[in-house]
Structure 1
């Protein structure tokens, strides 16, 4: 297992805490950007400045925009190049809490009953809260509250999303209207059935090898939507692979970096207005069954989103570069 972070800051307290946990793993890969950092003095850490990234033998390295979260894609490729079979991705303001530990792909879950949209946060709290990217018109619907029969089952889940306490991953509307310290309840993990949507993020997320082709972060969209749109595409492809997305109780405390909330709101407007169209487009995508087709299905999803006018055609050059780099590494 290896941890992937992109940052413009020198080691934060949160990253130092993760580094201390990572003595049980293969450490951290830190992806910098134009603003820095220019060094990264932390044990068990591989640091790649922007100059280092541009010298990598990946087609994607020179195509990715600077000052963009999508440069994290290079961290994924580096982990794959190094033969990792599990990637933990997070941000530099998420500190592991007492419940953080290296997870297993096989996990015990409660399987949610089928619904078109499921607010997974409501499984871990009765308060009014929803994940960034969740459809606003489903927030108050009873159908979006997770329901299950109470039976734990063991499943293989190649994508598992951990929640964050203190400052959870929510949208700007939640923060502008009710921002406060927040702690989720500790409950059994929840799996979503095929056909049920819930956005997930890149703040505390575990990926195993079969799902690696789906790690790609788009560049030609808002920084507040890149990981959310990635999550919808990954979910759609997971369904064809016969897997379920899993949410589990909080394993990090987020000491959130400063954000201008109105700028966050502006950056989320494309999600508020297009997430339903995006997911309906993905539902109509004609994908191929099985894990062997994960990369091909990713490309099909992006082609369909370009045709639908949700992403510009320029995104496809990066998607194909990702696919080229990935296939080259897996030969």
Structure 2
């Protein structure tokens, strides 16, 4: 009986064990298959996403699940929410020294943990090994990654601000973060703090291919020596290279050591993420607070959600620019090429084959033309044969390739990304460098040009202006030139004033001598009007004015009107203010430039003239709703900008860099426009000195 009972028990136990084993094996196979499918799906999706890939690793002790959950529910959740809008395709992982039962279960739930399986565990012990293992993991598991990063689990990232910031600096040899020491060289003392460090693809590859080493037999010039701390380890590893793109960002990154908790808490305010890109030593409650301030739609928190009206842009100072802005180590030098100098230059940037407008300018023997190419512009060999017919044409028509832009004007090229309308700024510099007296600033869909004989600088010309006694700081030039619509306005004119009859000038004739800075030609067929106009009124249309019937309209001193970059003649006194801001949309940039330039014109009594149409705009394909979205800053901020520029608050602004800092503080532009203004000013000073 006992034997039979034991046999039955043994059989039952064996069956249970077999069933249990089958279940476990099945679950493992299911999990492995699921993970494999997920990886395959991720690979397939990444093939259709051309954005650069950024891989983030968060180093965390296995016991810090509260910090991991704090990051998952704050800035990581924002990454997921804004996934399609960020400049990078982002992968994140938590980095745990070794697996434990709790972290294995946690990883089954979130599938976001990498177990480093390092030899040493704990704080301040072989952090170099942990970083090396993670960098090698990126190199092997994510070969498509353009950038890799490591951060601590008490760091809060401002999303999208931090990724927009990194996008400005991205390069294969990037070394970015909060830096110890000063200078751009890298060593154990001058290095990025390990709490947040970003490396470019080339540096990741170099480190991954070297030997990690601990002990007396290590060779610093060959091996990766572990200093116990990650920051000093990487500083040592990178010290052997002379091409490291070291980008300290101490003014945008908040780094606190121990015993500074009160100072850190005082820094947590609603505008934190408009000033900074990350906060170090963030308790979970601070992460949650910063997330509330910065999450998409957070502006609703400043008022009642049930309110029946929106919030107006104020134009008040809400943030502070940082003293050290331009971090590029490029020289501002402007190098002359073999192109002859020329008095009259036309500047255009395009990604298309030569348009009718470009062909027309190229055919005028009294004009020189610079085509500012971008990475997607047809090559010089393809482009020039359509507009160059004689050898003499090559002495006045310049195809300025991206390679030449970098070689001739390295500092300016460094701060303006490719595939960006702002590359046109390099064309202005090129024309000024080649002794331009006038620059025709035009788009490739605006056919025609101003007749220079109508605006000779040494001869007073008959013009119209506002009769004395009229009181307005803003004028709408369109009604003077003859339109059939009741209310017509140019792009960049404040919407609040389109029905304000006091902005329609009462015209008086004049032959007084004036110093012209800009002549804005109106355009027929497709005038420069905003998306609201196109969606609500009749367009296209023509102005009834001609050069014979209407004199040019000259703005009085200390008044404003919008001018564009589509069909505008700039004269030498205005050249320093031609810079197009690069941190706003192209449909906003030229309007901002125009208002900024007029501020400086008023100080020097330089005038702006509007002329009857010299050009016909044969408009390239546009989506009006996209134009509407691109122009939102114009609708919301134009009036406030004009009133600021004409107020006492602006009277102390002395140069373009100061102006850009003020406009950044008031949220008209972003921080990297200050870098651009510095690069523009330095390059302009260099080339004009050489002239």
TM beyond 0.5: yes
Q: Establish whether residue 91 from structure 1 lines up as the match of residue 443 from structure 2.
A: yes
- CA distance in 2 between counterparts of 1:189 and 1:176 reads 29
Contact 1:131 1:169 in 2 (8 A): yes
Q: Establish whether residue 64 from structure 1 lines up as the match of residue 427 from structure 2.
A: no
- CA distance in 2 between counterparts of 1:104 and 1:208 reads 10
Classify the secondary structure of the residue corresponding to 2:365: helix
Pairwise CA distance, 1:223 = 1.2
Question: Where does 1:197-236 land on structure 2 (aligned, <5 Å)?
Answer: 197-236=560-599
Q: Which residue of 2 aligns with 1:323?
A: 681
| Alpha-carbon RMSD | 1.7
Contact 1:190 1:247 in 2 (8 A): yes
Q: Establish whether residue 31 from structure 1 lines up as the match of residue 372 from structure 2.
A: yes
Q: Establish whether residue 3 from structure 1 lines up as the match of residue 360 from structure 2.
A: no
- CA distance in 2 between counterparts of 1:190 and 1:96 reads 20
- CA distance in 2 between counterparts of 1:149 and 1:108 reads 11
Q: Alpha-carbon deviations, 1:175-229, whole Å to 9, x = none?
A: 1122433211121111111232210001111111111100000000111101000
- CA distance in 2 between counterparts of 1:225 and 1:156 reads 27
Counterpart selection for 2:659 from 271, 286, 301: 301
Name which one, 1 or 2, has greater alpha-carbon Rg.
2
Pairwise CA distance, 1:156 = 2.2
- CA distance in 2 between counterparts of 1:241 and 1:297 reads 13
Structure 1 residues 134-143 or 37-46, which shifts more? 37-46
Larger RCO (CA under 8 A, 6+ residues apart): 1
Classify the secondary structure of the residue corresponding to 1:35: coil
Pairwise CA distance, 1:130 = 1.0
Q: Which residue of 1 aligns with 2:519?
A: 160
Structure 1 residues 115-124 or 320-329, which shifts more? 115-124
Q: Alpha-carbon deviations, 1:49-101, whole Å to 9, x = none?
A: 2233222234111210222211100001101111111111111011117x745
Pairwise CA distance, 1:287 = 4.5
Question: Where does 1:275-290 land on structure 2 (aligned, <5 Å)?
Answer: 275-283=638-646, 284-287=649-652
- CA distance in 1 between counterparts of 2:377 and 2:508 reads 49
Q: Establish whether residue 246 from structure 1 lines up as the match of residue 595 from structure 2.
A: no
- CA distance in 2 between counterparts of 1:299 and 1:279 reads 18
Contact 1:37 1:49 in 2 (8 A): no
- CA distance in 1 between counterparts of 2:519 and 2:568 reads 6
Q: Which residue of 2 aligns with 1:17?
A: 360
Pairwise CA distance, 1:281 = 2.4
Q: Which residue of 2 aligns with 1:291?
A: none
Contact 1:163 1:204 in 2 (8 A): yes
Give ranges in structure 1 of 5+ residues lacking alignment: 289-295
Q: Alpha-carbon deviations, 1:253-281, whole Å to 9, x = none?
A: 00000011100000000111011222222
Give ranges in structure 2 of 5+ residues lacking alignment: 1-343
